[in-house]
Amino acid sequence: MLKMARSSYYYRKSLDLQKQKEAADLRDRIEKIVVEHERYGYRRVTAQLQREGSNVNHKRVQRIMQEEELICKIKKRWVVTTDSNHPFPIAPNLLKDAKITGVNQVWVSDISVPQKAA
C-alpha cells in the first residue's frame, strides 16, 4: 500500500529526544558519583544510583562507564615481606666469588628454623 513500515506511523520524535536526554542525565550523574568517590566501580555506582531513586541496571552502568573511561583503577597494596632490621645472625654468602658455568654445579637450601623476635 504505502510501502512504509507500520512502526513509522507510531514513531514519535519527542520520545527519542526524551530518551537521549535521560541517557545524558544518567551519564552526568554517573560521572558526578565517580568524581566524588574515585574508588567506586560499576557495582557501587549502581547501588548509589538506586539509593538516589534511579531504576538502572548494572550492565548499563558498566557500559556507560567503559564508554566514558570512568572505570575504577585498582591500586594494589605493597606488602612488605622482608624485615632486614632483625636481631638474628646473618649467614655469610659462601658463593659470593664462585664462577658458576653450568647446571647442577651448586645447590642451595635453608634449614634454619624461624625464630620469634624478642
Ranges 47-61, 82-96, 101-115, most confident: 47-61
Q: What is the pLDDT of residues 63-107, one digit of tens each?
A: 999 999 988 877 788 888 888 888 888 888 888 888 999 999 998
Distance CA 40, CA 60 (A): 16
Domain locations in the chain as residue ranges: 12-67
In this prediction, what percent of the chain has a pLDDT beyond 90? 42
